[in-house]
Amino acid sequence: MAVIGFIGLGNMGMPMARNLVQAGYLVYGFNRSKEKEETFEELGGRRAESLSLIAEKADIIMTCLPEPQDVHDVLSELFEMEISDSLIIDFSTVTSALHENMKEKAAGKGVQYLDAPVSGGTAGAEAGTLAIMCGGEEDAFEKARPLFDVLGASITHTGPAGSGTKVKLINQYMVGMHTAAVAEALHLADESGIDKDMLYDVLSNSFAQSKIFDRHYPDFIAADREEPGFALSLLLKDLNLAGEMAGEREVPLEAGRKVKEMFEDAKQQGYGGKDMSAFYQYTTGKYS
Ligand code: NAD
Protein backbone atom coordinates (compact mmCIF):
# COMPACT_ATOMS: atom_id res chain seq x y z
CA MET A 1 0.00 0.00 0.00
CA ALA A 2 1.20 3.52 -0.81
CA VAL A 3 2.61 5.58 2.08
CA ILE A 4 0.79 8.92 2.36
CA GLY A 5 2.05 12.32 3.54
CA PHE A 6 -0.85 14.61 4.43
CA ILE A 7 -0.12 18.34 4.85
CA GLY A 8 -2.81 20.53 6.44
CA LEU A 9 -4.75 18.78 9.21
CA GLY A 10 -7.57 21.33 9.49
CA ASN A 11 -11.34 21.06 9.45
CA MET A 12 -11.17 19.08 6.19
CA GLY A 13 -7.68 17.57 6.22
CA MET A 14 -7.97 15.93 9.65
CA PRO A 15 -11.02 13.76 8.91
CA MET A 16 -9.73 12.99 5.40
CA ALA A 17 -6.34 11.86 6.71
CA ARG A 18 -8.05 9.89 9.49
CA ASN A 19 -10.23 8.06 6.93
CA LEU A 20 -7.10 7.03 5.06
CA VAL A 21 -5.60 5.70 8.31
CA GLN A 22 -8.81 3.77 8.98
CA ALA A 23 -8.63 2.32 5.47
CA GLY A 24 -5.24 0.83 6.39
CA TYR A 25 -2.83 3.37 4.88
CA LEU A 26 0.29 4.50 6.70
CA VAL A 27 -0.21 8.28 6.85
CA TYR A 28 2.31 10.89 8.01
CA GLY A 29 0.51 14.11 9.00
CA PHE A 30 2.12 17.56 8.97
CA ASN A 31 0.50 20.78 10.17
CA ARG A 32 1.70 24.28 10.97
CA SER A 33 0.12 24.27 14.45
CA LYS A 34 1.58 21.26 16.18
CA GLU A 35 -1.35 20.36 18.45
CA LYS A 36 -3.23 19.16 15.33
CA GLU A 37 -0.41 16.68 14.68
CA GLU A 38 -0.86 15.38 18.24
CA THR A 39 -4.59 14.93 17.61
CA PHE A 40 -3.76 13.09 14.40
CA GLU A 41 -1.45 10.75 16.32
CA GLU A 42 -4.29 10.01 18.72
CA LEU A 43 -6.41 9.09 15.68
CA GLY A 44 -3.84 6.51 14.58
CA GLY A 45 -1.71 8.57 12.21
CA ARG A 46 2.04 9.19 12.36
CA ARG A 47 3.41 12.60 13.11
CA ALA A 48 5.80 14.17 10.58
CA GLU A 49 7.98 16.61 12.48
CA SER A 50 9.09 18.25 9.25
CA LEU A 51 8.24 18.52 5.58
CA SER A 52 11.48 16.72 4.79
CA LEU A 53 10.16 13.62 6.58
CA ILE A 54 7.14 13.69 4.24
CA ALA A 55 9.49 14.10 1.26
CA GLU A 56 11.54 11.14 2.44
CA LYS A 57 8.73 8.72 3.35
CA ALA A 58 5.67 9.44 1.22
CA ASP A 59 4.80 7.88 -2.14
CA ILE A 60 1.78 10.16 -2.37
CA ILE A 61 1.80 13.69 -0.93
CA MET A 62 -1.54 15.35 -0.21
CA THR A 63 -2.19 18.99 0.68
CA CYS A 64 -5.33 20.59 2.11
CA LEU A 65 -4.36 24.18 2.93
CA PRO A 66 -6.34 27.42 3.25
CA GLU A 67 -5.07 29.89 0.65
CA PRO A 68 -3.23 29.84 -2.72
CA GLN A 69 -0.14 31.32 -1.04
CA ASP A 70 -0.03 28.42 1.46
CA VAL A 71 -0.14 25.84 -1.34
CA HIS A 72 2.49 27.75 -3.31
CA ASP A 73 4.83 28.02 -0.32
CA VAL A 74 4.52 24.41 0.87
CA LEU A 75 4.89 22.90 -2.60
CA SER A 76 7.81 25.20 -3.48
CA GLU A 77 9.56 24.00 -0.32
CA LEU A 78 8.89 20.38 -1.27
CA PHE A 79 10.23 20.96 -4.78
CA GLU A 80 13.56 21.88 -3.16
CA MET A 81 13.71 18.31 -1.80
CA GLU A 82 14.19 14.87 -3.33
CA ILE A 83 10.63 13.69 -4.13
CA SER A 84 10.97 12.03 -7.56
CA ASP A 85 8.58 9.17 -8.45
CA SER A 86 5.90 10.53 -6.17
CA LEU A 87 2.40 11.89 -6.80
CA ILE A 88 1.16 15.19 -5.37
CA ILE A 89 -2.59 15.70 -4.87
CA ASP A 90 -3.84 19.12 -3.77
CA PHE A 91 -7.35 19.19 -2.28
CA SER A 92 -7.36 22.92 -1.43
CA THR A 93 -9.51 25.44 -3.27
CA VAL A 94 -7.01 27.70 -5.03
CA THR A 95 -6.56 28.77 -8.69
CA SER A 96 -6.19 26.80 -11.90
CA ALA A 97 -3.19 28.99 -12.85
CA LEU A 98 -1.38 27.95 -9.66
CA HIS A 99 -2.04 24.28 -10.45
CA GLU A 100 -0.81 24.62 -14.04
CA ASN A 101 2.36 26.19 -12.67
CA MET A 102 2.83 23.58 -9.92
CA LYS A 103 2.18 20.74 -12.37
CA GLU A 104 4.99 22.03 -14.60
CA LYS A 105 7.37 22.28 -11.65
CA ALA A 106 6.36 18.79 -10.50
CA ALA A 107 6.95 17.37 -13.99
CA GLY A 108 10.45 18.90 -13.92
CA LYS A 109 11.15 16.81 -10.81
CA GLY A 110 9.64 13.60 -12.24
CA VAL A 111 6.57 13.97 -10.02
CA GLN A 112 2.93 13.52 -11.06
CA TYR A 113 0.41 16.18 -10.06
CA LEU A 114 -3.36 16.36 -9.58
CA ASP A 115 -5.64 19.16 -8.43
CA ALA A 116 -8.55 17.54 -6.62
CA PRO A 117 -10.70 20.10 -4.84
CA VAL A 118 -13.57 18.70 -2.82
CA SER A 119 -17.12 19.62 -1.92
CA GLY A 120 -19.37 18.26 0.80
CA GLY A 121 -17.99 20.09 3.82
CA THR A 122 -16.76 18.66 7.07
CA ALA A 123 -19.73 16.27 7.18
CA GLY A 124 -18.67 14.83 3.82
CA ALA A 125 -15.04 14.68 4.92
CA GLU A 126 -16.01 12.83 8.14
CA ALA A 127 -18.26 10.38 6.32
CA GLY A 128 -15.94 9.83 3.34
CA THR A 129 -18.66 11.02 0.97
CA LEU A 130 -16.99 14.06 -0.59
CA ALA A 131 -17.49 15.11 -4.20
CA ILE A 132 -13.98 15.09 -5.69
CA MET A 133 -13.33 16.98 -8.93
CA CYS A 134 -9.91 16.06 -10.22
CA GLY A 135 -7.79 17.62 -12.93
CA GLY A 136 -4.65 15.99 -14.30
CA GLU A 137 -3.36 13.15 -16.39
CA GLU A 138 -5.38 9.94 -16.68
CA ASP A 139 -2.69 7.60 -15.31
CA ALA A 140 -2.17 9.80 -12.23
CA PHE A 141 -5.94 9.91 -11.72
CA GLU A 142 -6.12 6.11 -11.91
CA LYS A 143 -3.26 5.84 -9.39
CA ALA A 144 -5.16 8.12 -7.02
CA ARG A 145 -8.55 6.51 -7.51
CA PRO A 146 -8.31 3.94 -4.65
CA LEU A 147 -7.55 6.83 -2.28
CA PHE A 148 -10.37 8.94 -3.71
CA ASP A 149 -12.69 5.96 -3.15
CA VAL A 150 -11.87 6.16 0.57
CA LEU A 151 -12.50 9.92 0.73
CA GLY A 152 -15.41 10.47 -1.61
CA ALA A 153 -18.68 9.22 -3.02
CA SER A 154 -18.66 11.21 -6.29
CA ILE A 155 -15.34 11.13 -8.13
CA THR A 156 -14.93 12.86 -11.48
CA HIS A 157 -11.93 13.25 -13.75
CA THR A 158 -12.65 16.74 -15.06
CA GLY A 159 -9.80 17.06 -17.60
CA PRO A 160 -6.26 18.48 -17.49
CA ALA A 161 -4.52 19.95 -14.40
CA GLY A 162 -6.46 22.97 -13.16
CA SER A 163 -9.83 21.84 -14.54
CA GLY A 164 -10.94 20.43 -11.18
CA THR A 165 -10.41 23.87 -9.71
CA LYS A 166 -12.41 25.57 -12.45
CA VAL A 167 -15.34 23.27 -11.61
CA LYS A 168 -14.85 23.90 -7.89
CA LEU A 169 -14.83 27.69 -8.25
CA ILE A 170 -18.06 27.57 -10.27
CA ASN A 171 -19.45 25.44 -7.43
CA GLN A 172 -18.26 27.99 -4.86
CA TYR A 173 -19.85 30.85 -6.79
CA MET A 174 -23.16 29.04 -6.42
CA VAL A 175 -22.48 28.23 -2.74
CA GLY A 176 -21.98 31.97 -2.10
CA MET A 177 -25.15 32.91 -3.95
CA HIS A 178 -27.19 30.21 -2.18
CA THR A 179 -25.79 31.27 1.19
CA ALA A 180 -26.88 34.87 0.56
CA ALA A 181 -30.30 33.70 -0.66
CA VAL A 182 -30.82 31.55 2.46
CA ALA A 183 -29.77 34.39 4.79
CA GLU A 184 -31.99 37.02 3.18
CA ALA A 185 -34.96 34.63 2.82
CA LEU A 186 -34.78 33.73 6.54
CA HIS A 187 -34.47 37.40 7.45
CA LEU A 188 -37.59 38.11 5.39
CA ALA A 189 -39.35 35.25 7.22
CA ASP A 190 -38.36 36.75 10.61
CA GLU A 191 -39.72 40.15 9.65
CA SER A 192 -42.94 38.63 8.25
CA GLY A 193 -43.92 36.57 11.29
CA ILE A 194 -43.18 33.27 9.50
CA ASP A 195 -41.81 30.46 11.66
CA LYS A 196 -38.42 29.40 10.26
CA ASP A 197 -38.77 25.69 11.16
CA MET A 198 -42.10 25.57 9.33
CA LEU A 199 -40.62 27.47 6.38
CA TYR A 200 -37.71 25.03 6.21
CA ASP A 201 -40.09 22.05 6.18
CA VAL A 202 -42.20 23.58 3.40
CA LEU A 203 -39.26 24.68 1.26
CA SER A 204 -37.59 21.29 1.68
CA ASN A 205 -40.32 20.03 -0.66
CA SER A 206 -40.36 22.99 -3.03
CA PHE A 207 -38.13 24.34 -5.78
CA ALA A 208 -36.28 26.45 -3.17
CA GLN A 209 -34.79 23.32 -1.57
CA SER A 210 -30.99 23.21 -1.79
CA LYS A 211 -28.05 21.35 -0.28
CA ILE A 212 -26.87 24.69 1.10
CA PHE A 213 -30.22 25.33 2.83
CA ASP A 214 -30.04 21.78 4.24
CA ARG A 215 -26.50 22.42 5.43
CA HIS A 216 -27.03 25.89 6.88
CA TYR A 217 -30.40 25.64 8.57
CA PRO A 218 -30.80 22.63 10.90
CA ASP A 219 -27.23 22.23 12.20
CA PHE A 220 -26.10 25.86 12.22
CA ILE A 221 -28.79 28.57 12.11
CA ALA A 222 -31.55 26.68 13.97
CA ALA A 223 -28.96 25.23 16.38
CA ASP A 224 -27.46 28.70 17.00
CA ARG A 225 -24.04 27.30 16.07
CA GLU A 226 -21.48 29.61 14.50
CA GLU A 227 -18.12 27.84 14.79
CA PRO A 228 -16.89 26.49 11.41
CA GLY A 229 -17.50 24.11 9.48
CA PHE A 230 -16.38 26.26 6.63
CA ALA A 231 -15.20 29.70 7.66
CA LEU A 232 -16.92 32.69 6.06
CA SER A 233 -13.47 34.11 5.22
CA LEU A 234 -12.72 30.96 3.15
CA LEU A 235 -15.96 31.42 1.21
CA LEU A 236 -15.00 35.05 0.56
CA LYS A 237 -11.61 33.79 -0.67
CA ASP A 238 -13.44 31.46 -3.09
CA LEU A 239 -15.77 34.24 -4.29
CA ASN A 240 -12.72 36.37 -5.00
CA LEU A 241 -11.08 33.49 -6.90
CA ALA A 242 -14.29 32.85 -8.88
CA GLY A 243 -14.43 36.61 -9.60
CA GLU A 244 -10.84 36.52 -10.90
CA MET A 245 -11.62 33.48 -13.04
CA ALA A 246 -14.67 35.28 -14.49
CA GLY A 247 -12.74 38.52 -14.99
CA GLU A 248 -10.06 36.75 -17.04
CA ARG A 249 -12.83 35.53 -19.35
CA GLU A 250 -14.86 38.78 -19.35
CA VAL A 251 -17.83 37.08 -17.70
CA PRO A 252 -19.47 39.80 -15.57
CA LEU A 253 -21.05 37.77 -12.67
CA GLU A 254 -23.09 40.91 -11.87
CA ALA A 255 -25.22 39.45 -9.08
CA GLY A 256 -22.15 37.86 -7.55
CA ARG A 257 -20.35 41.19 -7.34
CA LYS A 258 -22.95 42.55 -4.90
CA VAL A 259 -22.91 39.34 -2.86
CA LYS A 260 -19.10 39.45 -2.70
CA GLU A 261 -19.23 43.05 -1.41
CA MET A 262 -21.64 41.90 1.30
CA PHE A 263 -19.29 39.06 2.30
CA GLU A 264 -16.40 41.55 2.45
CA ASP A 265 -18.48 43.72 4.77
CA ALA A 266 -19.44 40.68 6.88
CA LYS A 267 -15.76 39.85 7.29
CA GLN A 268 -15.02 43.44 8.32
CA GLN A 269 -17.84 43.22 10.86
CA GLY A 270 -16.05 40.27 12.51
CA TYR A 271 -17.81 37.29 10.89
CA GLY A 272 -14.74 35.96 9.00
CA GLY A 273 -13.87 33.26 11.53
CA LYS A 274 -17.47 32.12 11.94
CA ASP A 275 -19.16 29.47 9.82
CA MET A 276 -20.34 30.76 6.42
CA SER A 277 -23.96 30.24 7.55
CA ALA A 278 -23.40 33.13 10.02
CA PHE A 279 -24.05 35.33 6.99
CA TYR A 280 -27.65 35.05 8.27
CA GLN A 281 -26.69 36.64 11.62
CA TYR A 282 -24.75 39.31 9.71
CA THR A 283 -27.77 40.02 7.51
CA THR A 284 -30.27 40.22 10.36
CA GLY A 285 -27.89 42.27 12.51
CA LYS A 286 -27.16 44.76 9.76
CA TYR A 287 -30.62 45.32 8.36
CA SER A 288 -32.99 44.84 11.31
P1 NAD B 1 -8.56 25.01 7.97
O2 NAD B 1 -8.08 26.40 8.15
O3 NAD B 1 -9.49 24.39 8.95
O4 NAD B 1 -7.29 24.02 7.84
C5 NAD B 1 -6.10 24.33 7.20
C6 NAD B 1 -4.96 23.69 7.99
O7 NAD B 1 -3.74 23.93 7.30
C8 NAD B 1 -4.81 24.27 9.41
O9 NAD B 1 -4.73 23.21 10.33
C10 NAD B 1 -3.51 25.07 9.33
O11 NAD B 1 -2.80 25.08 10.56
C12 NAD B 1 -2.75 24.30 8.27
N13 NAD B 1 -1.74 25.09 7.58
C14 NAD B 1 -1.85 26.33 7.06
N15 NAD B 1 -0.71 26.69 6.46
C16 NAD B 1 0.15 25.65 6.60
C17 NAD B 1 1.49 25.40 6.20
N18 NAD B 1 2.18 26.32 5.56
N19 NAD B 1 2.04 24.21 6.52
C20 NAD B 1 1.34 23.27 7.21
N21 NAD B 1 0.08 23.45 7.61
C22 NAD B 1 -0.51 24.62 7.31
O23 NAD B 1 -9.18 24.98 6.49
P24 NAD B 1 -10.20 23.89 5.91
O25 NAD B 1 -11.59 24.33 6.20
O26 NAD B 1 -9.73 22.52 6.26
O27 NAD B 1 -9.98 24.17 4.34
C28 NAD B 1 -8.79 23.75 3.67
C29 NAD B 1 -9.00 23.95 2.18
O30 NAD B 1 -10.12 23.15 1.74
C31 NAD B 1 -9.34 25.40 1.80
O32 NAD B 1 -8.73 25.73 0.58
C33 NAD B 1 -10.85 25.39 1.70
O34 NAD B 1 -11.32 26.42 0.82
C35 NAD B 1 -11.11 23.99 1.16
N36 NAD B 1 -12.43 23.42 1.51
C37 NAD B 1 -12.96 23.55 2.77
C38 NAD B 1 -14.21 22.99 3.04
C39 NAD B 1 -14.86 23.10 4.42
O40 NAD B 1 -16.07 22.81 4.54
N41 NAD B 1 -14.14 23.47 5.47
C42 NAD B 1 -14.91 22.28 2.05
C43 NAD B 1 -14.31 22.14 0.80
C44 NAD B 1 -13.07 22.72 0.53
Residues 29-47: tens digit of each pLDDT: 999 999 999 999 999 999 9
32 lines ligand 1 (CB under 6 A): yes
CATH number among 3.30.1330.120, 1.10.150.20, 3.40.50.2000, 1.10.1040.10, domain 166-287: 1.10.1040.10
- CA 79 vs. chain centroid, Å, equals 23
Residue 83 · residue 56 · CB < 8 Å: no
Hey, which of 9, 12, 31, 75 would you mutate to test ligand 1's pocket, going by the most ligand atoms within 8 Å of its Cβ? 12
Contacts of 50 (CB under 8 A, 6+ apart): 30
For 206-217, what is each residue's pLDDT tens digit? 999 999 999 999
The answer to whether residue 288 scores a pLDDT higher than 70 is no
Task: Please give the CATH superfamily to which domain 4-160 belongs.
Answer: NAD(P)-binding Rossmann-like Domain (3.40.50.720)
Listed by start position, the domains of the chain span: 4-160, 166-287
Q: Which residue is catalytic, options 36, 168, 260, 267?
A: 168
Is the confidence metric ipTM above 0.85 for this complex?
yes
C-alpha 61 – ligand 1 centre gap (Å): 15
Burial 54-70 (b: 16+ CB within 10 A, else e): bbeebebbbbbbbebeb
Q: What is the pLDDT of residues 103-145, one digit of tens each?
A: 999 999 999 999 999 999 999 999 999 999 999 999 999 999 9
**What is the rounded end-to-end Cα distance, in angstroms, of the chain?**
57
Is 168 among the residues known to form the active site?
yes
Distances from the Cα of 195 to the Cαs of 145, 188, 286, in angstroms?
A: 45, 11, 21
CA gap 127, 144 in Å, rounded: 19
Amino acid at 166: K
Measured CA to CA, the distance from residue 10 to residue 25 in angstroms comes to 19
Q: Which amino acid would we find at residue 129?
A: T
Q: Which numbered atom of ligand 1 lies nearest the CA of 73? A: 18
Q: Say how far apart CA 271 and CA 276 lie, in whole Å.
A: 8
Q: Convert the pLDDT of each residue in 235-285 to its tens digit.
A: 999 999 999 999 999 999 999 999 999 999 999 999 999 999 999 999 999
Q: Are 225 and 138 in contact (CB under 8 A)?
A: no
- For 159-181, what is each residue's pLDDT tens digit? 999 999 999 999 999 999 999 99
